[in-house]
C-alpha cells in the first residue's frame, strides 16, 4: 500500500513541478540560480521509488525514467517517512529535523529544493492538509487560484509539458 501511495504521489509531484515552475514566480526565481540541466532527485532508500526533476529553459522538467547521476540527491530512509510526506503529515524540513532524510549535495541547493517542493505541495494539497507542513499558508488571491487550476488541470491531470 505504501509503495503504491509513494509512486503515485511522486508521479503527481513530478507532473505538477513543471507547471508550478512556469506559473509561480518565486519557484521560477529559485530555479534561475541553477544551471541548465541541473538535476535533483528525491528517492526512497531501497525501494526504487523516485522523482527526478531537471532544469530545462528555467523550468522543472519531470524525468519519468530513473536517473543515476544527479546534482542533488535527497534520500528518504524508509517508506513510512515517504508516505507521511506524500500525505502531507510531514514536511521535508521536519523530515530533515528528525533525521529521516539524507541529503547528498550542496546545502544551498538543498534549501532551494526544499522551498520549491513546498511551493509545489501548496498548489497540490487543500488548505486543511497544508496546515501540517507549513507555517505560512499561501495567500488566497485570484492569481494563486488561477495558477492552482492551471497546475492541476494542465500539469497533473493532462500531464502536459509547459
Partner 1 sequence: MKSFQSPAFYEFYSPVKILSGDNALDNIPYELSKKNSSNPLIITDEGVSKSGILKIVTKILKSGKIKNNVIFDKTPRDSSLEVVQELAAVFKKNKCDCIIAIGGGSVIDTAKGVRILVTNRTNNLKSLSGVNRINPSSVALFILPTTSGTGSEATQVAVISDNQKGEKMLFVSPYIYPDMAVLDPRLTVTLPPKLTAMTGMDALTHAVEAYTCTQKNPVSDAFASTAVKMVFSNLMSAVKNGSNKKARMELANASLLAGIAFSNSMVGAVHSIGHACGAVAHIPHGHAMSVILPEIMKYNFKKSSALYGELLLYAAGAEVYAATPEKERGTKLIGFINTMKSELEKKCGLSMLLPSDIFDAKMIKSVAEYAINDGSMLNNPLEMTVAQVEKVLKNCVAK
Task: Give whole-number Cα distances, 99 to 76, 102, 124, in Å.
Answer: 9, 7, 25
What is the C-alpha to C-alpha distance for residues 110 and 42, in angstroms, rounded to an integer?
A: 11
For the chain, the first-to-last Cα distance in angstroms comes to 31
1, burial (CB in 10 Å: exposed 0-12, middle 13-18, buried 19+): exposed
Regarding 114 and contact with partner 1 (CB under 8 A), the answer is yes
Q: Which of residues 28-87 bind partner 1 (CB under 8 A)?
A: none
Please identify, among the stretches 15-23, 105-113, 141-149, 154-162, the one whose residues bind partner 1 according to the rule CB under 8 A.
105-113
Pick from 2, 11, 67, 105: which binds partner 1 (CB under 8 A)? 105
Please identify, among the stretches 48-56, 57-65, 89-97, 121-129, the one whose residues bind partner 1 according to the rule CB under 8 A.
89-97
Regarding 143 and contact with partner 1 (CB under 8 A), the answer is no
137, burial (CB in 10 Å: exposed 0-12, middle 13-18, buried 19+): exposed
Regarding 100 and contact with partner 1 (CB under 8 A), the answer is yes
Regarding 25 and contact with partner 1 (CB under 8 A), the answer is no
Give the shortest CB-65-to-partner 1 separation in angstroms.
Answer: 24
Amino acid at each position: 500500500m505504501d509503495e503504491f501511495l509513494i509512486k503515485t504521489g511522486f508521479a503527481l509531484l513530478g507532473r505538477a513541478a513543471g507547471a508550478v515552475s512556469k506559473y509561480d514566480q518565486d519557484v521560477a526565481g529559485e530555479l534561475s540560480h541553477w544551471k541548465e540541466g541541473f538535476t535533483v532527485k528525491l528517492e526512497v532508500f531501497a525501494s526504487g521509488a523516485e522523482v527526478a526533476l531537471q532544469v530545462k529553459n528555467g523550468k522543472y522538467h519531470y524525468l519519468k525514467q530513473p536517473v543515476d547521476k544527479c546534482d542533488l540527491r535527497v534520500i528518504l530512509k524508509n517508506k513510512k517517512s515517504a508516505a507521511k510526506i506524500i500525505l502531507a503529515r510531514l514536511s521535508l524540513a521536519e523530515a530533515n529535523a528528525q533525521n529521516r532524510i539524507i541529503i547528498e549535495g550542496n546545502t544551498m541547493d538543498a534549501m532551494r529544493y526544499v522551498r520549491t517542493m513546498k511551493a509545489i505541495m501548496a498548489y497540490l494539497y487543500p488548505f486543511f492538509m497544508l496546515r501540517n507542513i507549513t507555517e505560512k499558508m499561501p495567500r488566497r488571491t485570484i492569481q494563486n487560484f488561477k495558477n492552482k487550476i492551471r497546475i492541476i488541470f494542465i500539469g497533473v491531470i493532462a500531464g502536459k509539458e509547459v
